[in-house]
Chains A and B, each alone.
Chain A
């Protein structure tokens, strides 16, 4: 990893201070959200804003009392199951695009990426009608299916870029030893791309966990967390602290996971652009 020259010069000092300020500004809304969530409603809307107060967890308790766990379970299933399926499908596909490429692998990869260009809006009407005919509306299954097709292209693209970084000598050695394709995959490729696969899975999980448009159209009572949150909109202004509490709560798992793997995520987001 290359870190450019350290910060001992004057210019370096200025850059350090600017980076600190920039990072803190980026985080400030998040900090304010957590702070607001621990206030009473009166403190949350006071003028001037309240900075020092005795924290209350009442809004978190309220969220759990109002069906938070049921929605959280729907989100875990929709995001978790779809991510597992995406990875199971993306790994062999990436193999066929990187290690033993099919003819025209570039066209195939391009096709996958280009499906991401298609706005969901251009397919939402028929998808809705098909789901309705198959009696899939308002189920977790329909979300799993939609999230798989939503995330698969990105996952294939990322996984392929990790596979292209597997040293060819290792693969040739294994082939000369007579290793089968599945052995080659399990003993050589998978261990090498594991950090990359973890970043890919996290990214797919985040996109599915945060997904709103499909969830709002295809489900009603089987609400995932974005839909659970959206209901607070209609309650309006009196619920500032309550909104902050639920907004904090729904983000805890993904933010925690993101913080834990940020280093490998940063390494993984090259999409094959490094030569």
Chain B
């Protein structure tokens, strides 16, 4: 039986004749513990959002002496005429998708490999989860100076030794570089989530299947994979959510360049607001960034809502 229903039955059994006031009191007693968390989140996310929409309808540049004034949708018209911005939307979608797919592929392969008993398993798991714990700023700076750098980096030395010359990864393959470093960090996170999923797979099912002579591949394909589905969906959602805000990696590795090739939406809004000081335009871009994020993440969110409906207690 579901928890809410259980509660209602228990409460009803204890107090058969409840007055309306006591029902109301019970409702508030339930709501009260929620408020200290709900109020700050509402204040800190919804109010700025409404203000962003309001600002986005104004002409407002901090460097200009002209006063703020209402200009309707002109910032949005400008945004959709800004070809750099439109390319940025495309880059955001592509880079986010690539990072999500790559992280899930690597993380899941490692998790499946680690969910067996073999010598050195704990050590390898410890090593494989480490990239997630690294500060993105530190990881990016280190990759930039010690690995990607064409003259002094390890990768340059390796490609030179292979006769490929010193490849300048960050300017010749900027998107690949950003995707590589991000996926490296996030695949560790996916690894932990998928491993949690694999460990919650009932051992009896696996044993029963092996007694029945089912092949290992069959068990994985027909039993383990369906069990893992919600975990993979969760991984995709969380990685997409955090990668959309992947500003540290981008700004430190490539600075969004060359020629905006690695600029994602969040970073573009940041550049508008804090380098160009055009608050109105930055707000319009921010509003569009939000719409793109919703479009990207809503399908995933719907999957998670499905998980919540089936799982849990109520």
Contacts and interface: CB of A to CB of B under 8 A. Distances in A.
Contacts of B285: 121
Assign chain A's interface to a size class: 35 or more
A145 B271 CA distance: 24
Given A32-B154, A255-B133, A273-B311, A266 B289 contact: no
A152 B42 CA distance: 11
A60 B58 CA distance: 49
Interface in A1-54: 1-7, 11-12, 15-16, 18-20, 22-24, 26-27, 29-30, 32-33, 36, 44-45, 47-49
Nearest to B291: A122
B67 interface: no
B114 to A, nearest CB: 6
Interface in B1-50: 3-4, 6-7, 10, 27, 29-34, 36-38, 40-41, 44-45, 47-49
B202 A2 contact: yes
B196 A152 contact: no
Contacts of A95: 33
Interface in A115-137: 115-128, 130
**B10, B37, B131, B230 pick with most chain A CB within 10 angstroms:** B37
Q: Is the interface of A mostly helix, strand, loop or mixed?
A: helix
Given A30-B134, A153-B41, A19 B197 contact: no
Given A120-B266, A149-B40, A113 B301 contact: yes
A259 B197 CA distance: 19
A108 to B, nearest CB: 7
B235 to A, nearest CB: 9
B193 interface: yes
B147 interface: yes
Nearest to A120: B245
A183 B267 CA distance: 48
B265 interface: yes
B182 interface: no
B91 interface: no
Given A26-B110, A273-B311, A110 B305 contact: yes
Nearest to B2: A101
Contact of A29 (B7, B184, B231): B184
Interface of A: 1-7, 11-12, 15-16, 18-20, 22-24, 26-27, 29-30, 32-33, 36, 44-45, 47-49, 89-90, 92-93, 95-103, 105-106, 108-110, 112-128, 130, 145-146, 148-149, 152-153, 156, 160-161, 164, 168, 172, 175, 181, 206, 209-210, 212-213, 217, 225-226, 229-230, 232-233, 237, 239-240, 243-244, 246-248, 250-251, 254-255, 257-259, 262, 265-275
Interface of B: 3-4, 6-7, 10, 27, 29-34, 36-38, 40-41, 44-45, 47-49, 51-52, 55, 106, 109-110, 113-120, 123-139, 141-143, 145-147, 149, 151-152, 154, 157, 160-161, 184, 187-188, 192-193, 195-203, 206, 210, 216, 230-231, 234, 241, 244-245, 247-248, 251-252, 265-266, 269-270, 273-274, 279, 282-283, 285-287, 289-290, 293-294, 297-298, 301, 304-305, 307-314
11 contacts: A1-B199, A24-B127, A48-B161, A98-B312, A125-B282, A160-B312, A226-B138, A243-B146, A250-B138, A257-B133, A262-B126
